[in-house]
Chains A and B, each alone.
Chain A
Amino acid sequence: MASTKMKIKKNKAGGHDVMVLAKHPMETGLRKDKKTGEKVPAHFIQTMDFALNGAIVAQANLGPGVSKNPLISISVTGGNAGDTVSVNWTDNKGESGNAEKTIK
C-alpha cells in the first residue's frame, strides 16, 4: 500500500545522511471518527531497520507519537560509492515496506 522513498546525502562528517519518507497514516488509536464517533484503531509503524550492504546498522523505533507519513533520518559513517543502503519497516498490523538506494 505504501510507498517508501529514500534520499542519501553526504554530510559534513564524511559520512552519509539517510533520509526515509514512508507513506503511513500513523493512527494513535485515540482519534475519533467524526461521522461515526468510534475510535479509529491504532495503526503505526513500529520498527524501521536501516541496513548498509545488507547488514543492519541501526533500528528506529516508532510509536503513535510520530507524525503521519514519517520522515526519519539517521547518519551512517563509512559507506562508499556503490554501497547499498536499504530500509525495511514493519507496523503493528504486520504490514511492511522497504526502499533501497545506492550511494553515489
Chain B
Amino acid sequence: MKRRIFLKRSLATGTAAVAVGAGLLSPIRILAATWPEAAFTAKTEADALSAFFGSANAQESGDVTLKAPLQAENGAVVPIKIMTSLTDVEAIAVVVVKNPSPYTTSMQVVSAAAGGMYSARIKMGQTSPVNCYVKAGGKVYMTSQEIKVTVGGCGG
C-alpha cells in the first residue's frame, strides 16, 4: 500500500518519478506483482506513461508492429495485436489517446520465457490514435495507428 501512495506522490511532484527510474534498476519489475493503478486512473497519456514506465519519453521504432483494423465498426470490440522483434522485452502497453482513461491495457514480462507478442480486444469511445509502447532493454519504443470508430463503445 505504501508504494502506491509513493507512486501517486511522485506523479504529483513530477520530479520524483525520474528518481524512481534512476534510483531503481527497473520500476516495472517491482510493479510486476500488482495492478498499476496510477497508470489506469491517469487522465492523460503522459501521466499514464510516467506512472507505468517511469518516464513519458518514447522513441518511434519500426521494430514495433501494431496489427489493428483501419476502421472499426463497433468500438466496443476492437482487436489489436502488438508484435515486436526487439529482444529483452520488459513490458508492452496500449494507450487509446481519446478514451476517458487513455491507458487501456498492458503486459509485463516477469521471466525471460515470455515473448514479444500481446493481443487483446479493446473498447474505443471515438476515432482516436492508438499508441503502443514497448519497453525493451531499458528503453521505450512506440508505434501508433489511428483507428476510425463508427459506433463508440465506452458506455455513458
The residue of chain B having its C-beta at the shortest distance from the C-beta of A26 within the complex is B123
* Residues of the B chain whose Cβ atoms lie less than 8 Å from the Cβ of A60: 105-108, 118, 120
Contact B113 A52 (CB under 8 A): yes
Complex Cα spacing A32 to B156, Å: 6
Contact of A64 among B77, B101, B113, B114 (CB under 8 A): B101
B100 and A57 within 8 A (CB): no
Chain A contributes a number of interface residues (CB within 8 A of B) equal to 37
Looking at the assembled complex, report how far the CB atom of B120 sits from the nearest CB atom of chain A, in whole angstroms. 5
Residue of B nearest to A63 (CB): B40
How many B residues touch the partner, as a band? 35 or more
Q: Please tell me which stretch of B7-15, B31-39, B53-61 contacts chain A, meaning at least 4 of its Cβ atoms lie within 8 angstroms of it.
A: B31-39
- Select one of B32, B115, B153 contacting A15, CB under 8 A: B115
B117 at the interface (CB under 8 A from A): yes
Q: How far is the CA of A47 from the CA of B32 in the complex (A)?
A: 10
What's the A-B contact tally at a CB cutoff of 8 Å?
A: 124
B111 near A71 with CB under 8 A, answer no
Q: Do B117 and A73 touch across chains, with their CB atoms under 8 A apart?
A: yes
**B133–chain A nearest beta-carbon distance, Å:** 13
Q: Which of A17, A56, A63, A64 contacts B117 (CB 8 A)?
A: A17
CB pair B156 A31 closer than 8 Å: yes
**Bound CA span A50–B9, Å:** 31
Closest to A67 in B: B121
A-B contact pairs, 8 of them (CB 8 A): A60-B118, A61-B40, A63-B103, A73-B118, A74-B118, A74-B119, A75-B114, A77-B113
Chain A interface residues toward B at CB < 8 A: 11, 13, 15, 17, 28, 30-32, 40, 46-47, 50, 52, 55-68, 70-79
Known: A60-B106, A66-B104, A75-B114; 20 extra A-B contacts, CB below 8 A, are A15-B115, A28-B156, A57-B113, A57-B114, A58-B110, A58-B111, A61-B35, A61-B36, A62-B120, A63-B101, A63-B104, A65-B103, A65-B104, A70-B120, A71-B119, A75-B116, A76-B114, A76-B115, A77-B115, A78-B113
